[in-house]
């Protein structure tokens, strides 16, 4: 009987529409996640990985079906907008959702610490140098990349389409190895930062340091500021 009550209470908690992360930030489950999906594990993991100060610009996380995720040539799973994170409920695993949330937190970090990240132009210079090298690699491989698109650091729908549909991410992954952590990092300076931030916390920070030392040092500097503030 006791076990039944405990299980019922846990099920009710798991099925609750509203949760919290970092104590005061609402996580609203608009649409149900796959059966057996452990949302509590996802939220607890994100809390352990990302310092509280780096999520000051996130007020709420919405989980559900959002039509704009499926629009366009390159569908996506999450978005940060107006102090809110929107994350699809169509998740293959808890780790996939952790990836989505950490990536979008990176965009919130950009908004909060943009001057610290970009004002000295060092991250942009590193990014542009990598895109220039990739441009020449694609030329050598028989593709016909648009040089103007590769010189632009802002998101460009044409370039996104070209990389995803013409070159293809499997081919691009191979050609960009040692330059970019993953193909989506190529699409814009903002995605370059967010992709690096995600991989710093979730994968091999040593590899990030090797291929993108400037970006790596920027992320480390944000964490060092976090530590200094905690000491105060």
For position 227, what pLDDT does the model report?
Answer: 52
Convert the pLDDT of each residue in 197-228 to its tens digit. Answer: 999 999 888 999 999 999 999 999 999 875 54
When pLDDT is averaged across residues 25-29 and rounded to a whole number, the result is 95
pLDDT band at residue 47 using 50, 70 and 90 as cut-offs: very high
Convert the pLDDT of each residue in 102-155 to its tens digit. Answer: 999 999 999 999 999 999 999 999 999 999 999 999 999 999 999 999 999 999
Q: Report strand pairing: 18-21 vs 25-29.
A: antiparallel
For position 44, what pLDDT does the model report?
Answer: 97
For the chain, the structural domain boundaries read: 2-94+103-111, 120-231
When pLDDT is averaged across residues 33-61 and rounded to a whole number, the result is 95
For position 232, what pLDDT does the model report?
Answer: 47
Convert the pLDDT of each residue in 161-198 to its tens digit. Answer: 999 999 999 999 999 999 998 898 999 999 999 999 99
For position 15, what pLDDT does the model report?
Answer: 56
Convert the pLDDT of each residue in 48-107 to its tens digit. Answer: 999 999 999 999 999 999 887 876 555 678 999 999 999 999 999 999 999 999 999 999
For position 224, what pLDDT does the model report?
Answer: 86
């Amino acid at each position: 009987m006791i076990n039944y009550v405990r299980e019922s209470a846990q099920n009710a908690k798991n099925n609750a529409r509203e949760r919290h992360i970092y104590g005061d930030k609402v996580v609203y489950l608009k649409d149900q996640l796959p059966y057996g999906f452990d949302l509590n594990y996802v939220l607890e993991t994100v809390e352990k990985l990302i310092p509280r100060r780096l999520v000051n610009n996130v007020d709420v996380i919405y989980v559900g079906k959002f039509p704009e995720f499926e629009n366009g040539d390159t569908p996506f799973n999450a978005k940060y907008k107006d102090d809110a994170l929107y994350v699809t409920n169509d998740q293959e695993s808890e780790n996939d959702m952790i990836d989505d949330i950490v990536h979008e937190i990176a965009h919130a970090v950009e908004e909060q610490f943009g001057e610290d990240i970009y004002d000295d132009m060092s991250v942009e210079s590193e990014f542009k140098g990598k895109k220039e090298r990739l441009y020449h690699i694609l030329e050598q491989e028989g593709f016909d990349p648009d040089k103007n698109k590769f010189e632009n650091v802002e998101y460009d729908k044409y370039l996104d389409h070209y990389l995803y549909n013409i070159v293809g991410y499997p081919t691009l992954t191979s050609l960009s190895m040692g330059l970019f952590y993953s193909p989506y990092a190529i699409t814009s300076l903002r995605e370059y930062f967010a992709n690096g931030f995600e991989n710093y916390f979730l994968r091999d920070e040593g590899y990030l340091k090797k291929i993108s030392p400037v970006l790596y040092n920027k992320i480390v500097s944000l964490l060092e500021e976090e530590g200094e503030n905690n000491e105060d």
